[in-house]
Amino acid sequence: MTSQQIPYEKFVILVVEDEAHTRAVIKSLLRQIGVRSIVEAAEGKSGLDEVMRSRPHLVFCDVHMAPVDGFAFLKLLRQSKVESMRRTPVVFLTADSQRDTVMFAKEHQVSGYLVKPVSLGSLKTRLDAVLKPV
């Protein structure tokens, strides 16, 4: 399936990011790709609430936020009693390539990394990799 055949408009994407400007940039890039349903949260706790409410197909999540960071968000999501929530793909947004971060991400089934600042090309590549049919 080519990327032109991925029905971006049918997917719900959640952006969990504490910086409003970065959230706005990512939402703009997602719209350029064709995503129509974008929800957002400013930190991990509200991100978890949003996952419960909107059941996104994919979450882009910043690693370094307060009070609930991306690590805690991912850990709590993977421990959810709701299987569909536990299986929600999560892509970390970060400039952090420290070994501990990478190991944590692997242990908790992170679906990929996007290095900030995010470009249209890198966002689309990661989106396609996660949303393509198995």
Q: Say what the pTM is.
A: 0.93
Is 30 among the domain residues?
A: yes
The residue range of the domain holding 10 is: 3-120
3 vs 131: CA distance, rounded Å: 10
Tokens at residue 33, please?
A: 């790709």
Is 128 among the domain residues?
A: no
pLDDT, tens digit (0-9, with 9 covering 90-100), for 70-87? 999 999 999 999 999 999
Is 10 among the domain residues?
A: yes
55 vs 88: CA distance, rounded Å: 8
User: Which domain CATH number covers 45?
Assistant: 3.40.50.2300
Domain count, the chain: 1
pLDDT, tens digit (0-9, with 9 covering 90-100), for 9-61? 999 999 999 999 999 999 999 999 999 999 999 999 999 999 999 999 999 99
According to DSSP, residue 6 is labeled S
Is 130 among the domain residues?
A: no
Is 31 among the domain residues?
A: yes
